[in-house]
Amino acid sequence: MLLNLAIYAQSDTNRLNTIPLDVLKAQDIIAGRASTNVEVVSASRSSKRIKDLPVTIHVVTQEEIRKNGYITLVDVMKAVPGVRVSQPGSGLDGETFLFRGQIGNYYTKILINNIPIQPSVAGGIAIGAQLPIAQARQIEIIYGPASAVYGADAMTGVINIITDSPSSCSFAQANVTLGEYGYQHVNFMAGGKVGKNKNILKYTFYGNRGKRDDLNIRHNKEVELVGQLSSEFSYKGNVFSPLPHFFASKRMSSDQVNYLRLLNTNPDQVLDSIQATYPYYQGDANKGLVNALPQESSLFGIQLEYRDFTFSYNNLFRSNHSSLGRSPDIFSYAHPDNYIADRIERTTLSYNKAWQRFALTVNASYLKYRMDVGSTYGVNYASFASSRAYTYEASDDLFFEALGTYSINKYMEVTAGFSATLSGNLPPVNESDTPFNPNDYRAFSTTQRPPHAVFGHFGDNPILHTITGYFAQLLYQRDNLTLIAGVREDASSEFTTNVDSANVVGTFYPRVAVLYKFSDNLSVRASYGRAFKAPSARNTYSSLALPVIFNGTRVPNLVQYERVPNEDLSPEFVTSYEVGVRYTLNSNIDFDLTGYYSRIDQLITQSLIPLDTAIYGANAVSQFQAQNSFRTRSAVNDVNSRSDLYGLQLAVRLSNLWPLLKFNADVYLNYAEGSEVLPNEENEEISVPRMVPKFMGQLNFSIEPFKHTYFRFENVFMTDWVRRFVPRAQASDFKIAGYYNLDFIGRYQLSKNLGVFLKIRNVFDAEYAGIGSDGLDVDLVYNPQMKRNVQFGASFRL
């Protein structure tokens, strides 16, 4: 999607006023850290220095990735200013990160070599070790909405993973890591050049393979819930207790209240009552059985560059235990072989050509996404005789983009282009006792399977849709002033992209940003942007219907609807303002202070809605009852729902402050406030944004006390926050405790080509919570994170 780096490698003083990007220059690297002189392409879609751009941007260099042993994207994001992470996140989403108050897996545009990697059916990507992080030359992270040039999904920012490319005849690198709990990971990359003069073929091969036998999340820390049901009632117990989620979701019947009150006096009676509802439940009244929770990932990639053409292929796979972050009474942790796994295959072809004043880029890609047919949830209710509920989803995306950049004069350039995506989706099918037959789904087809004997076509919603966009952007740069002004129009066959009128199917999304330099060391910037997030097919068509079982026998004609589609979902819209100051005190110390405000309208959340018997039949039932009618779960949004987030972010970078020890430090502080109006029937307002701690600090520092020796310490601390799922109650009753965590890596370089390292995650074995897994009422009260894990390995580079 961006101008390919090869363009700039061929540039000269007469071409497009850009700077070569093939290799970071020595003066742009300070002890392995990117300076503000580093060139990026993600912010403006043409090569510019960070210090000249009127946006907030963070670049992670190749040397940082290697020294710190980053393997997953979330490893990287953990060390990025103002970003909090969850490792694990959930079975469906893998690892997750929170970026400007939203789940980055879905609300941030993630690219590999400038082209999107997120499948349309999900509207995001599950993150594991399947992305080419160890093979990246640099990772560019842009804060703030960027729909003006990237289209849908660039709500909170853009992340561009740019893989390495051969600059010499040949190169090779590899890393091998072993650790506790059966952790194994290996990655490699090799490439080179053949040919002469202009007929040079560059080739690169790379891959990852990793697994972990167990995530080590068995927390003994007790969860305390006080006052969420009534002022005189409280609960204190293990996070994997089967009972707290009734309390935390506030969907308790009077009988369930009594179960809680009996917990300390008669746990056997409580257990009997649980097993009457969930016959496959394993454990006791205080804690569900938690067995090994494995994960797995792999990657294979190839890239070929010849003259003005680039071809690439990526095959990405990841697998996580399906119950992660979910309540143990309903979802089983007892069986290691319940997993959610998916595979992405992306094939791309790019054409890049530069003339004296004009450059052209054409990108085409095909992205194929398939969930593994063996993906299952371990469920404890009686509707599935095997206690396994099979699930499946799929999508195919054809993407085409053409853009041109024209240098009007030495001060101005304009970039304009269009993009089109054709998507075929099979949203998550209704869960079943048997695996999905992949032959029942054909790419870009809306043909349904034969109707189910009980559920008919419920949960079978293949769709075909398109989205097209046109954009233009002007960049003006003269003396001390830089201005970016861009606009984009998108149109979709599935939904309106206008927040104000359902009669308009296309609208403009602007971005305006300005920077003024008082000197080479001091600059101020301001920006405004709007963006939208399309409702994914996974959200829109989420479906779950179950047969009604009583005393082990199915009740004829009755169907229990746990989740139903909502085809009336509209996009979410964000409006963002940002102001910032960059100040370089000297060659060793620089500051970046950012103030930001973002508002999301038509916020999508999971809620309870009336079960429409006109659609689902007079015999449709649900476990939720209100005023003699049934209610069921569905994704909802409306024009009254919104999320407001105000923040202040300070980044202080200290480079080589103590030359004898090569001491580097990053100090990141983030303060946030806000509110949300949820799209339930009452449009209740909560006084703080969900998942966002009021205060978060990150202190990362490294030293090299001896020759060839490197130590790094990554510290994170934050205050409490409101959990992701909040029912109709005061948000203050659903706060999760803050925490402090420390990660460590030590590295010793044995020779020019070979090094060894030691990594300790969660050095103090802290028990703390991550981001809520799914935002559903079946989430655990808090999402337990990995405890201490020791890893060691070796790195090779030739």
Chain length of the chain:
798
Q: Give how many domains the chain has, as a whole number.
A: 1
43 falls in which pLDDT band (50, 70, 90)? Answer: very low
Q: Which residues pair with 610 in a beta bridge?
A: 631
The predicted model scores a pTM of 0.90
- Mean pLDDT confidence for 577-600: 94
Is residue 547 exposed (0-12), middle (13-18) or buried (19+ Cβ within 10 Å)? middle
- Residue 264 within a domain: no
Burial class from Cβ neighbours inside 10 Å (0-12, 13-18, 19+) for residue 356 reads exposed
The two three-digit tokens of residue 200, written as one number: 């040079």
Cβ(206)–Cβ(192) under 8 Å? no
Round to the nearest angstrom and report the end-to-end CA distance of the chain. Answer: 31
Of 239-243, 269-273, 565-569, 581-585, give the lowest mean pLDDT range: 269-273
In a domain, 78, yes or no: yes
Do 692 and 704 meet the contact criterion of CB atoms below 8 Å apart?
no
Which of 228, 231, 232 lies closest to 243, judged by CA?
Answer: 228
Instruction: pLDDT band for 232, please (50, 70, 90 cuts).
Output: very low
**Residue 239 in tokens:** 């996070």
Residue 27: per-residue pLDDT: 34
Whether residue 227 is contained in a domain is answered as no
Amino acid 333: pLDDT: 95
699 in any annotated domain: yes
Confidence band for 735, pLDDT divided at 50, 70 and 90: confident
**Over residues 457-483, mean pLDDT:** 92
Per the structure block, which two tokens stand in for 264? 């300390």
Residue 254 lies in a domain: no
pLDDT in the model for residue 150: 73
Q: Specify whether the CB–CB gap between 373 and 399 falls below 8 A.
A: no
**CATH code of residue 150:** 2.40.170.20
pLDDT of residue 15 exceeding 90:
no
Residue 513 burial (CB count, 10 A): 24
The predicted pLDDT at position 154 comes to 81
The whole-angstrom separation of Cα 4 and Cα 12 is 16
Tell me: pLDDT of 28 over 80: no
- Higher-pLDDT residue of 91, 605: 91
Helix and strand numbers, DSSP H then E, in the chain: 10, 49
Q: Is 210 helix (H, G, I), strand (E, B) or coil?
A: strand
Q: What is the mean pLDDT of residues 759-765?
A: 97
Q: Summarize pLDDT for 464-475 with one digit per residue, the tens.
A: 999 998 999 999
Structural domain includes residue 333:
yes
Residue 76 belongs to domain spanning:
5-218+290-797
Token pair, residue 125, equals 């990507």
Residue range 176-198: mean pLDDT, rounded: 94
DSSP 8-state symbol, 615: H
Q: How confident is the model at residue 509 (pLDDT cuts 50, 70, 90)?
A: confident
pLDDT mean over 28-49 = 51
Find out whether 310 and 162 touch, Cβ atoms under 8 Å.
Answer: no
Answer for the pair 89, 96: CB distance below 8 angstroms, yes or no.
yes
Q: Tell me: pLDDT of 627 over 70.
A: no
| C-alpha to C-alpha distance for 601 and 86, rounded to whole angstroms | 25
Peptide bond into 88 cis (omega under 30): yes
- Whether residue 284 is contained in a domain is answered as no
Minimum mean pLDDT among 41-55, 365-379, 445-459, 718-732: which range? 41-55
- What pLDDT does 20 receive? 31
What does the pLDDT average to over 40-51?
A: 57
The whole-angstrom separation of Cα 105 and Cα 585 is: 36
Helix (H) / strand (E) containing 345: strand 339-354
3-state class (DSSP) for residue 9: helix
Whole-angstrom distance, CA of residue 475 vs CA of residue 484: 5
pLDDT tens column, 487-497: 988 888 876 65
In a domain, 424, yes or no: yes
Please state the rounded mean pLDDT for residues 174-199. 94
| Contact assessment for residue 387 and residue 380, using Cβ atoms and an 8 Å cutoff | yes
